[in-house]
Structure 1
Amino acid sequence: MSKNQPRSTFADLLGILGSAISAAAAEENGRSARPQDLRRLGIDPTEFRKIRRF
């Protein structure tokens, strides 16, 4: 295991958390979430756009 593995894992975790916050804030403010944020979260952007609110 390399010396940079913990740092890389922590950076990945922060990136995922940042994408989740960004996508949630965009949807809450009536904007579309960025496709790259949705992909990082494992969500297909095309399918996500098909979801309708009640």
Structure 2
Amino acid sequence: MDRGLFFVIGDFFSTFGSAASASRAVEAGRKPRPSDLKKLGIDPAAFDRTGRF
């Protein structure tokens, strides 16, 4: 095991956490944090244009 493996595992959990956080925000009718959207590869400005919030 080297640092690369730990980085990949940490990045996986970080991405999963961002997905869960964004999902909870949308379900509650709130706008997700821009940092969570960026981590998921979603442009926050484009998300604002969806018209749901």
What aligned pairs does 1:1-54 form with structure 2 within 5 A after superposition? 3-53=2-52
RMSD of equivalent CA atoms: 1.3
Deviation at 1:3, TM superposition (A): 1.3
Structure 1: 5+ residue stretches without partners: none
Separation in structure 2 between the aligned mates of residue 27 and residue 49 of structure 1, nearest angstrom: 12
Local SS of the residue matching 1:27? helix
Q: How many residue pairs align between the two structures? A: 52
Q: TM-score, normalised by structure 1?
A: 0.89
Moved over 6 A (4+): none
